Structure 1
Amino acid sequence: MTIRPIRLAHIVFYTADLKRMCDWYCTVLGAEVVNGNDFIAFLTYDDEHHRVALIAPPDIAPRPKGPTVGFYHSAFTYAGLEDLLETHDRLRDLGIMPRRTINHGPTISLYYTDPDGNDVELQVDRFENARDAQEWMKGAAFTANPIGIDLDVEDLRRRLEQGEPVASIMVRPDEVVS
């Protein structure tokens, strides 16, 4: 029998500019520095001792331009659509804009790029549990388009303010709902 981990604990990034990256993640995630120095910083935004660590080795090489083999992005889940939109507004007011906004089906996601070029997804789950999300992912809409449909954050806000139920807003436009 395979024993599985109980959760993903943290992510660690190498960086050439520790302060800039630390400031960005603290701003975007509302995180705080648990401990740090000129070489390393440990950040958290919840009850975990750290969720993000940043390391600045003195001999670090710059990242090549364009996509490279390896880690693509990290994702952070918010409690609800309202929280995600409020976070979007707070970041927008600070000049931090998403590079892409997508309704994946199981999530509505806002993609940002950190100062070192790493992609960071801020998302809200559509389904109340992983099993329902996984079942949806086995369906026709996801099979035909596993990336999803680009969306307009202002349209989401308008629909929410007009009283449309969150469950309806979360439905992907290309999905057949029975």
Structure 2
Amino acid sequence: MSPFHTAILAILALAGCTSLVHSTAARLATMDPLTADPAALELVVVLPPGLAVTPGSAKLELSADRGAEHKSGSFQLAERPAAAGVAVPEGGSARGFAIAEADVPKMRALQAEIAAWKREGAAKGSLGMGLGGCAVDGGPAADARGSVLIRVQEGGPFLPLIADGKLSDLLGAQVLAAIKPCKGAE
């Protein structure tokens, strides 16, 4: 495995979770974020009834550390229609996300900068994704479940990363209970 590893933030948070699809996590761990095409990365988040993605909150993070040195960048993920054929629970929704077109060249530039930096000495890095959630219609049920799918190459398949995970296990009961209403949904 390359010393420059990848990690999806969800994987870090869910390392022992039974809803994490370990074959997809293993495949992502072998992916080199410095050669991955940012324009090909795409996610689908399947949300239960009562939960929505906070507009503008989806971001892709690329970072690397070499000793005390650190390089990082945050790139906006644009919402798009979810891929056809994704199973959605009754009353739920699916949202697709891909790196915003304007951020693709910025990420490619950072990839090149980190790759050059890495050639000068050992570096460890990560590629992660994060997004915020908000409650609609009273919020998600205590036993609500969600899924995340990821595509890492253009035209490639969507791979399940989190399969029907119980939100209270994925986020923690306190975080789930603290989700605020979406603006305009009060």
TM-score (normalizing by structure 1) = 0.28
Structure of greater Rg: 1
Which structure dedicates a bigger proportion of its chain to strand?
2
TM-score (normalizing by structure 2): 0.28
